[in-house]
Amino acid sequence: MANEKIYLHEFIDIILQNRSKYLHHMTANWGPVGRVERKMLCFGVWATVGATERWPAATNMWEYNGWDGIAFSLNVEFSAPSHQDKSLTSWWADATKFRSGGYDRILIPASYCPTIEENITNGTKGDVYYHEMIRTVPGQAKTYLDLMEKHWLKKAEGIGLQLAFAGRSSMINDSEVINVWAIKDWETWANIEEAYEEDDGVARWRSTTQNVAIDWRNKLLAPSPLNPMNTGKIL
């Protein structure tokens, strides 16, 4: 069945050495409240691997029950004069000790993208996750995702990538794709990087998308201790 959820994707800037504190604060202290009061599920919370991207930072993803679901959640937050959930005043105050800001986007999943419940059922998990941000020709993000399903998913699985999320950014010119893959362990990641350089199947995939994908930037994510895909429990 096609995935009809909507996702919030967040890049978070961490203050100094507070990465682990932020990850715990977001999962243990926010996840359960968000599920009850905003009807949102924690899809994943990860620490950015600094060797592969700007640091210290974190990446969060949240799952909503369609556009009505995320509209409900945003209304809960912004209907208050303070633009802040009344029940989370202390949570926000504590969060300011760990983070300085961030950059969010709303994502529309590909039809074949698994939900968080499906990921848990499928056993999607890894010691490390691969985060892809692909910039496409304007209007071609959906085309890229369609090509992925037809020409890349099977090959990707063969080299050690397990699809956790595939989707495109909304509210722009249909030119950005975000993918998240689970990787069993660090050794498998090293093998994947070698395949990206040497494997003929990877080269064919790049050739297939050369008139669609303009550029891409990848980074590694380390799952938080309470990351739902790794614990098997929805926050």
pLDDT at 122: 97
pLDDT at 174: 98
Q: What are φ and ψ of residue 234, in 5° steps? A: -75, 130
Name residue, tokens 């249909």.
174
Do 6-109 and 116-223 fold alike per CATH? Answer: yes
* Per-residue tens of pLDDT for the chain, all 235 residues: 799 999 999 999 999 999 999 999 999 988 887 888 888 999 999 999 999 999 999 999 999 999 999 999 999 888 877 666 676 677 778 888 999 999 999 999 999 999 999 999 999 999 999 999 999 999 999 999 999 999 999 999 999 999 999 999 999 999 999 999 999 999 999 999 999 999 999 999 999 999 999 999 999 999 999 999 999 999 8
Q: Which CATH architecture has domain 116-223?
A: 2-Layer Sandwich (3.30)
pLDDT at 72: 94
Q: CA–CA distance from 151 to each of 132, 166, 203, 207 (Å)?
A: 17, 14, 12, 11
pLDDT at 157: 98
Does residue 192 contact residue 130 with C-beta atoms inside 8 Å?
A: yes
Pairing of strands 176-183, 99-109: unpaired
pLDDT at 85: 64
Pick the CATH number of 6-109 from 3.40.50.300, 3.30.70.100, 3.50.50.60, 3.40.640.10: 3.30.70.100
Q: H/E/C letters for each residue in 144-188?
A: HHHHHHHHCHHHHHHCCCEEEEEEEECCCCCCEEEEEEEECCHHH
Q: Classify 208 in phi/psi space as left (phi over 0), alpha (psi -120 to 50) or beta.
A: alpha
State which H helix or E strand residue 112 sits in.
none
Question: What sign has the CA pseudo-torsion 53, 160, 231, 37?
Answer: positive
- Break the chain into its structural domains and give their ranges: 6-109, 116-223
Q: CA angle at residue 124 from 224 to 12, to 5 degrees?
A: 35
89 vs 215: CA distance, rounded Å:
41
